[in-house]
């Protein structure tokens, strides 16, 4: 097994702002695994909120090098268990490896990863397009630049959130979803839900901090007139059960849970608990998006616009066009570097 790491800086089309900060470029780490003529790619991103840097993730991956060097196309979930024993505290690094292993195995078997997982490519939800926090004029302009999406995810967490949605509603009749990124109180969540429902909002993502009390979570679960979907409160497998009867759905992100292997288990558990299922993304290239897209058959909602937000994508793979997701013609996850990017 040959292991290569690629550090990327991905420039964005626009400054991307959420309730806790803003960026103009996203740092990304791609793991490339080569075995018997097949190559698999996986991606993860730096994240200051979760304390993940190039250096910390590279150090974690290096700890796994000897284990990976002996790998011979076994079930990815078995390798994941072994990797977890080595780096149990770095899901971001583990996710990149897991995506690369799934990609590698799919290519060796000449099958798409979703097929390897026993899933069928049918009833695939469309992705939303994210509008980051900015002046209302700029947010309206960003929406007008992408007029053909049927679903928009609006980042909130300001003192005038309802007015933002009112102003954006004047621009489009498409469905809205809102993400407060832990920026609201219990009272704001309940009151905002009433106004937002009238404005055609489908659900609210993570209004309260991940540290919110159980009583607060149960109160908004019961009193919000819109469904509440967990993001920061649902990071790893154990969190799904903890979110039951506190959230109406969960947003699973591969880099936070450790990759495709645990994400499948989380989504299946959420379905068993009759919760809505969603997979989101970071701002990342088509390598990461292509991996996450393999889980679409398990989802009610999708937020896979990360590569669309880039001014230049160094990779190709699964395509997200106005929300419609089209598979790559490559097996595995389907993502790879453009020839010009190498």
**pLDDT tens per residue, range 253-280:** 999 999 999 999 999 999 999 999 999 9
Given the residues 107, 142, 155, 256, select the one marked as catalytic.
155
pLDDT on residue 15: 85
* Residue matched to tokens 């997979």: 279
Q: Is 66 exposed, middle or buried (0-12, 13-18, 19+ CB in 10 A)?
A: exposed
pTM of the predicted protein model: 0.95
Evaluate if residue 52 carries a pLDDT over 90: yes
Mean pLDDT along residues 22-42 = 95
Mean pLDDT of the residues in the chain: 96
Q: In this structure, which CATH number among 3.40.1800.10, 3.20.20.120, 3.30.70.100, 3.40.50.2300 belongs to the domain 116-341?
A: 3.20.20.120
283 contact partners, CB below 8 Å, separation of at least 6: 10, 12, 16, 23, 26, 45, 306, 309, 310
Mean pLDDT along residues 303-315 = 97
| Crossing angle for the helix pair 161-169 and 136-145, to the nearest 10 degrees | 40
pLDDT on residue 203: 99
Q: In 3D, which of 1, 10, 53, 55 has the Cα closest to residue 32?
A: 1
Given the residues 107, 253, 271, 276, select the one marked as catalytic.
253
Q: What percent of the chain has pLDDT above 90?
A: 93
Residue ranges of domains in the chain: 2-111, 116-341
155 flagged as catalytic: yes
Q: How many helices (DSSP H) and strands (DSSP E) are in the chain?
A: 13, 15
Confidence band for 16, pLDDT divided at 50, 70 and 90: confident
DSSP 3-state assignment of 303?
Answer: coil
Give the integer Cα–Cα distance in Å for 96 and 284. Answer: 12
Find out whether 205 is annotated in a ligand binding site.
Answer: yes
Confidence band for 339, pLDDT divided at 50, 70 and 90: confident
Give the integer Cα–Cα distance in Å for 216 and 143. Answer: 33
pLDDT top residue among 325 and 342: 325
pLDDT on residue 76: 97
Give the integer Cα–Cα distance in Å for 55 and 160. Answer: 38
Confidence band for 21, pLDDT divided at 50, 70 and 90: confident
253 flagged as catalytic: yes
For the ranges 96-100, 132-136, 211-215, 317-321, the lowest mean pLDDT is seen at 132-136
pLDDT on residue 342: 57
pLDDT on residue 340: 65
CATH class of 2-111: alpha beta
């Amino acid at each position: 097994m040959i292991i290569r790491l690629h550090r990327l800086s991905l420039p964005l089309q626009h400054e991307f702002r959420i309730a806790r900060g803003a960026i103009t470029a996203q740092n990304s780490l791609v793991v490339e695994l080569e075995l018997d003529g097949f190559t698999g790619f996986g991606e993860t991103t730096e994240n200051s909120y979760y304390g993940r840097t190039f250096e910390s993730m590279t150090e974690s991956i290096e700890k796994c090098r000897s284990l990976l060097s002996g790998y011979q196309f076994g079930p990815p979930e078995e390798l994941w268990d072994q990797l977890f024993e080595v780096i149990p505290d770095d899901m971001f690094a583990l996710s990149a490896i897991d995506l690369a292993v799934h990609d590698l195995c799919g290519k060796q078997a000449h099958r798409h990863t979703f097929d390897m997982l026993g899933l069928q490519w049918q009833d695939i939800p469309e992705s939303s397009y994210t509008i980051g926090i900015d002046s209302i004029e700029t947010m309206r302009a960003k929406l007008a630049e992408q007029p053909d999406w049927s679903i928009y995810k609006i980042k909130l967490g300001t003192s005038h959130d309802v007015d933002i949605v009112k102003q954006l509603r004047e621009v489009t009749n498409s469905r809205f979803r809102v993400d407060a990124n832990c920026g609201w109180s219990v009272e704001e969540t309940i009151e905002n839900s009433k106004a937002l429902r009238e404005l055609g909002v489908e659900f609210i993502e993570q209004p309260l901090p991940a540290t919110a009390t159980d009583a607060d979570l149960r109160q908004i679960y019961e009193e919000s007139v819109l469904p509440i979907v967990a993001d920061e409160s649902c990071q790893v497998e154990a969190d799904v059960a903890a979110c039951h009867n506190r959230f109406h759905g969960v947003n699973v992100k591969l880099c936070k849970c450790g990759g495709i292997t645990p994400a499948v288990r989380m989504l299946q558990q959420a379905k068993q608990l009759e919760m809505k299922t969603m997979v989101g993304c970071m701002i990342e290239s088509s390598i990461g998006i292509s991996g996450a897209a393999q889980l679409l058959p398990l989802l009610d909602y999708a937020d896979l616009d990360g590569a669309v937000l880039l001014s230049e994508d160094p990779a190709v793979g699964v395509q997200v066009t106005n929300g419609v997701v089209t598979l790559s013609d490559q097996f595995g996850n389907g993502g790879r570097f453009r020839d010009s990017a190498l």
